[in-house]
Structure 1
């Protein structure tokens, strides 16, 4: 095992343990686990299933396979595939209306983070009979949502194991977070086989989202020995196997390792929260409808440089995992940033937010929204609006 990794874990488990809680859904992990969907729907007493997905997942065959499995078990299925890459509040509200009209009693979400976040939000709206906008924030969901089972088809968002649902308020061009233990799925069927239809570009961007989850949860001011364990193991797996999955997408072993890393990272951030990378990425996604994983990949190195002085020991441990050697005790962020840049270069992610359509005139509004994002609360270094503006400018 990597020396820096081992020493970091030993340091973290010594001394006093602050009080922390840890939440996770029931997880069924392994190739072919998606075929168990009807069994688990019945275990939750579901009879009339609301299947949330998107057209791309139906085209790939995964959602249709789940639908057939459910119908063959004698279950009724209502399809809702009107989900955008960054799910809109209007899509959630239409889904909740359709759910109620058809008397559905359980939600199955098949897809990436968008389908799963939309499905989770639909359940909360249906139970609380309110606008999804009223659920924004921490612990604002009064009544538990309908039972929900997730089947992720990307290795990155980890919406299937997290307390978060991220929705776009299209009127204000911003993303907002619903953070509540009621957002945890009841069951998640994590089947790496579903990721083989991802393009190399999607593999890279969703995988970098997972790596950001690991980095940000590890340096979060709400981290714990439990979340650190998952964050470090996620980093180890993703650094080694994500570039391999990008280069050789048909190798199921690489897909398995990346999916496992994504799950570990999700368990870490669901309980330790995130930081400035995600606050800024959410703002970009809400305003410009930018791909979330790509936003994170562009911003991570800039936020690492900003945060480094507040968590140098932890960043050195992350650097040690990436380098597979013990970093210098007085090293700065440059070596770690160099390794992150090498990784994104390997996977064809060109640096620069301007390549994604971000312009100088957008930065003020983006910074104001990022400053209000709840992920900023757990960033290891406090950031002002002016700090955030500077980081956006630096990332252009």
Structure 2
């Protein structure tokens, strides 16, 4: 047994831990760029609370509240320009995975400048970024636990992640109490994303013993808690479990990467600005059914965690879960048509080559196209 594992992430986990935002920020800098979206953290009161906690610690701050659901590289440029011009030495991310990813990109861009796509595609490298304090308000992306920042280039529609150790948050505060204001539809999609991160990392060909342990635990916690929360959002123990599942999933993919399910979804949300978790749900039954032969023992374990018996009923268990969460949209419902299939296939092979290669079944171009076509749905895909 040989492997290498390195992930220097400082997690502060627990109900009410958001009270420590000022204290943790004070250890990282003196002037913060607050990165968030335009609505949810204001309506929940988290933004006002953060501003008060920073003021108590005499930390000055500038607000950047322009982050969209699928953050753009242009948004990252805009935020980094403000961070530089205002002399910020710290970035604080408040919100869902989009806010965290945008904040990490901004922290990187503020130090490195230039074309961030050069770093996303590995043409340039850097190990420098402003420190990031991450405070997630959704339990899905796991961005608080890794060095990934997913963003979309609006010119090419490439949705791909910047991967860099420097953008692993210097501190992540995971407070399950912050999650409870999510609408149920958001909970379903982000929770399914958390489950899929653990699944993707577990079946990856570059998984290793530590990621397998975390992935199975994360998948099991998500499977146990997600439907319970969808039916009763007041179940705080389930919030704790789903938040842990999300963070574990983020940590897992930092090392084991994502595989074909995420690799095929990113072109969908890049092209149509679809909700990521719903795109995963539309693809999952088809992509995963075609994958079982490559890792039957692993799929058997995953099926049992969903209440099944072995790999033979894994897909049925996934379909049952999606039905319980009302995640029943097809890619066709999201605007994908037969005319998009060539672009989706080409873009998948362009931006997700590594993840597709690490999948237990390595799909060829025609297989990828056929899987996309199946996920469009019978009513929109013509022969």
Bin for the TM-score computed over the shorter chain: over 0.9
Pick the aligned partner of 2:213 from 190, 215, 229: 229
Provide the rounded CA distance (Å) in 2 between the counterparts of 1:204 and 1:262. Answer: 13
Provide the rounded CA distance (Å) in 2 between the counterparts of 1:385 and 1:81. Answer: 40
The TM-score with structure 1 as length reference comes to: 0.91
Partner of 2:306, secondary structure, is: helix
8 Å Cα contact 1:281/1:296 also seen in 2: yes
Deviation of 1:359 after TM superposition, in Å, equals 1.0
Deviation of 1:236 after TM superposition, in Å, equals 1.0
The aligned residue for residue 94 of structure 1 is 78
Provide the rounded CA distance (Å) in 1 between the counterparts of 2:125 and 2:237. Answer: 39
8 Å Cα contact 2:131/2:167 also seen in 1: no
| Greater RCO structure (CA 8 Å; 6+ sep) | 1
Count of matched residue positions in the alignment of Structure 1 and Structure 2: 373
The aligned residue for residue 369 of structure 2 is 389
Matches within 5 A, 1:279-290: 279-290=263-274
Task: Give 5+ residue unaligned stretches, structure 2.
Answer: 377-383
The TM-score with structure 2 as length reference comes to: 0.94
Provide the rounded CA distance (Å) in 2 between the counterparts of 1:380 and 1:249. Answer: 35
Provide the rounded CA distance (Å) in 2 between the counterparts of 1:103 and 1:296. Answer: 39
Provide the rounded CA distance (Å) in 2 between the counterparts of 1:139 and 1:196. Answer: 41
1:156 correspondence with 2:136: no
Of 298-307 and 202-211, the range deviating more from structure 2: 298-307
The aligned residue for residue 51 of structure 1 is 34
Change (3 A) 1:315 1:69: same
The aligned residue for residue 379 of structure 2 is none
Provide the rounded CA distance (Å) in 1 between the counterparts of 2:216 and 2:189. Answer: 20
Matches within 5 A, 1:47-126: 47-56=30-39, 57-126=41-110
Pick the aligned partner of 1:353 from 323, 331, 336: 331
8 Å Cα contact 1:47/1:105 also seen in 2: yes
1:199 correspondence with 2:177: no
Provide the rounded CA distance (Å) in 1 between the counterparts of 2:70 and 2:173. Answer: 22
Partner of 2:336, secondary structure, is: coil
* Cα offsets for 1:50-74 (capped at 9, x unmatched): 1100112222222221122112221
8 Å Cα contact 2:127/2:165 also seen in 1: no
* Cα offsets for 1:342-366 (capped at 9, x unmatched): 1110111114211112111111101
Deviation of 1:274 after TM superposition, in Å, equals 0.7
The aligned residue for residue 367 of structure 1 is 345
Pick the aligned partner of 1:254 from 223, 238, 243: 238
Partner of 1:166, secondary structure, is: strand
Partner of 2:194, secondary structure, is: helix
Provide the rounded CA distance (Å) in 1 between the counterparts of 2:219 and 2:42. Answer: 31
Of 78-87 and 306-315, the range deviating more from structure 2: 306-315
Pick the aligned partner of 1:31 from 15, 29, 37: 15
Matches within 5 A, 1:183-198: 183-198=167-182
Of 352-361 and 186-195, the range deviating more from structure 2: 352-361
Deviation of 1:320 after TM superposition, in Å, equals 1.5
* Cα offsets for 1:23-72 (capped at 9, x unmatched): 1410000011111011111222x100111001122222222211221122
Change (3 A) 1:353 1:119: same
Q: Which 4+ residue blocks in structure 1 deviate beyond 4 angstroms?
A: none
Provide the rounded CA distance (Å) in 1 between the counterparts of 2:261 and 2:47. Answer: 31
Partner of 2:205, secondary structure, is: coil
Deviation of 1:138 after TM superposition, in Å, equals 5.2
Task: Give 5+ residue unaligned stretches, structure 1.
Answer: 1-16
Partner of 2:169, secondary structure, is: coil
The aligned residue for residue 320 of structure 1 is 304
Deviation of 1:19 after TM superposition, in Å, equals 2.0
Deviation of 1:239 after TM superposition, in Å, equals 0.8
- How large is the RMSD of aligned CA atoms in angstroms? 1.4
